[in-house]
Amino acid sequence: MLLRNLSFRHGSLSYIHYRLIHTPARVRFAPSPTGQLHLGGLRTALFNYLLAKKTGGQFILRIEDTDQSRYVEGAVESLIRALNWAGIYHDEGPDVNGPHVPYYQSQRTELYRDHAKKLLENGHAYRCFCTPERLSQVRESRQKAGNYIAYDKHCSYLSDEEVQANMDRQLPYTIRLRVPYDGHIEHQDLVYGHIKFSNKTMEDTILIKSDGYPTYHLANVVDDHQMEITHVLRGEEWLSSTPKHLLLYKALNWKPPLFAHLPLLLNMDGSKLSKRSGDVHVEQYIKRGYLPEAINNFVGLLGWNPNQSEQLFTMDELIQEFDIKDINHSGAVVDQQKLDWINKYHLLKRAETTEGLNSLVDMLKPLVDNDYGSKLQNTPYEYRTDTAYLYRVIDTIKERIRNIHDIPTLCRYYFEEPNYQSADALALKKKLKAPALDLIKDEQFLNHLESIEPFKAETIKSILFKEAETKQMNANHIMMALRYMTTGSKVGAGVAETMETLGKETVMNRLRYLN
């Protein structure tokens, strides 16, 4: 049973916080190569990275691939691509030389076996020869009796002679941690505070499987010690494993690192966010057009609150503001609308510079080529796939979109003729005023509009306002009629700015088409 006491002991926490802010942190992100990086994994990697950079320490990437049955080909490369896309670069890892190579656990198995042997020798572990059939029977029997500890310590009672006899018969065995019967393990978690674990609630967990490979528990502890990890930031689901790890540190006479367990990620309805859901994988966010700086900003706020009203951060600002004491222990809700809002902010920040706008063009062009390239090829409008035109489109519409993917879907009129029979167009048409439509259909007005040179937004607006004043009409009515006739959509930037981007020829063709 897990006992939590959240009334912190200030003396110990003061020392811990001193270590946090004055000691360069060596941290690690240790994913299993079982698929794509999900949002929770990215949050863990980001928080570790922020702590390392905040304290002038190092961020290590370690691949925990001891479960070969779950290994997915190409998963490691996919993980590294996703982290690099997010700007979370590791100082040591499988593709970066470091003092603790190799960084694949499957290549460190002899090291784990050596330490398991030491645990056997000092009595902190024992060989378990129980068959799968017996383990299943024991588990079922104990569950029926209301005992949630699945194993009954049967093999811990074997004499040395019995163990040797089983070894001579070459019976398969696992190596289990020998958990003391009495007592408890206390732990000062950097997020959850003082936590007390009763030994009676802990199972003699397996350290080495019958195939000779280590379990997560042993490999994790050995690697963290060997790689000089000072802080372990990981998901809340590992909180219940912490006493086992602390027992291992004690059995091996090692000083444990500081632990911080990050809160669960939740859906909007309060249910746990599943890593097996395809729409929470980082690669899906990349494909859907979210910016890395927006994803980092969004993920950084999942469980971390810098105690200020500001919600918008660059990576440098996240590093500057990050402090483990500001991590909450309550679940963090993944709010898609908040992500869209954050993404819009960072899109506008990018669009403030020529370099940033060009990067957005690089994202938009493949989308436009895919949706419209073949239709526009070898036509007078092929220029609509050119980078110069796309640059103008983004610069015009940036205030009205949340994601670069909005442009080819919501602003189709930049690339093809408007569909005046669409629901959007028909709804807009119903709002138009007859005097405004009559004015736009007037040949003299059209000729005046066509004579504008250069065809710029300011000049267009000046003429439209003068026409409205002369005709004693509402200028907004004229603008709405022009929006309908040039775009067929209520979604868009200012009318004059849209007309400038579309170009005089396209605008006049569309106006005369409806006359």
User: What are the C-alpha distances in Å from 37 to residues 53, 85, 222, 283?
Assistant: 22, 12, 24, 7
Longest dimension (CA), the chain: 109
pLDDT more than 90, % of the chain = 87
Q: How far apart are CA 261 and CA 236, in angstroms?
A: 5
Q: Is there a contact between 390 and 396 (Cβ–Cβ < 8 Å)?
A: no
Structure tokens at 24: 């360069």
Q: What is the pLDDT of residue 144?
A: 86
Q: What is the pLDDT of residue 11?
A: 37
pLDDT more than 70, % of the chain = 95
Segment 118-125 mean pLDDT: 97
Q: Which residues are catalytic?
A: 275
> Across the chain, what does the average pLDDT equal?
93
Q: Is there a contact between 293 and 314 (Cβ–Cβ < 8 Å)?
A: yes
pLDDT in tens, 361-399: 999 999 999 999 999 999 999 999 999 999 999 999 999
Q: What is the pLDDT of residue 21?
A: 56
Q: What is the pLDDT of residue 274?
A: 79
Nearest to 63 by CA among 98, 34, 39: 34
pLDDT in tens, 405-434: 999 999 999 999 999 999 999 999 999 999
pLDDT in tens, 206-241: 999 999 999 999 999 999 999 999 999 999 999 999
Q: For 146-155, 271-280, 327-336, which range has the lowest pLDDT when averaged over its residues?
A: 271-280
Other Cβ atoms closer than 10 A to 178: 17
pLDDT in tens, 307-356: 778 899 999 999 999 999 999 989 999 999 999 999 999 999 999 999 99
Q: What is the pLDDT of residue 4?
A: 37
Nearest to 410 by CA among 421, 399, 420, 401: 401
Confidence label for 515 from pLDDT (cuts 50, 70 and 90) = confident
Answer yes or no: is pLDDT of 7 > 50: no
- Cβ neighbours of residue 58 closer than 8 Å, sequence gap 6 or more: 24, 25, 26, 27, 52, 91, 92
| Conformational region of residue 277, where left means phi above 0, alpha means psi within -120 to 50, and beta covers everything else | beta
> Could you tell me the sign of the dihedral formed by the alpha carbons of 348, 354, 359, 361, in that order?
positive
| pLDDT winner (highest mean) among 5-19, 64-78, 156-170 | 156-170
pTM of the predicted protein model? 0.91
Q: Is there a contact between 96 and 90 (Cβ–Cβ < 8 Å)?
A: yes
Secondary structure element (H or E) that encloses residue 377, with its range? none
Q: How far apart are CA 437 and CA 515, in angstroms?
A: 10
Segment 505-514 mean pLDDT: 94
Answer yes or no: is pLDDT of 48 > 50: yes
Q: What is the pLDDT of residue 276?
A: 63
Q: How far apart are CA 327 and CA 323, in angstroms?
A: 8
Q: How far apart are CA 362 and CA 348, in angstroms?
A: 16
Please state whether the peptide bond connecting residue 435 to the residue before it is cis, i.e. omega within 30 degrees of 0.
no
Q: Residue 388 in 3-state DSSP? A: helix
**Which single residue is written with the structure tokens 């015009």?**
396
Q: For 269-283, 349-363, 434-448, 491-505, which range has the lowest pLDDT when averaged over its residues?
A: 269-283
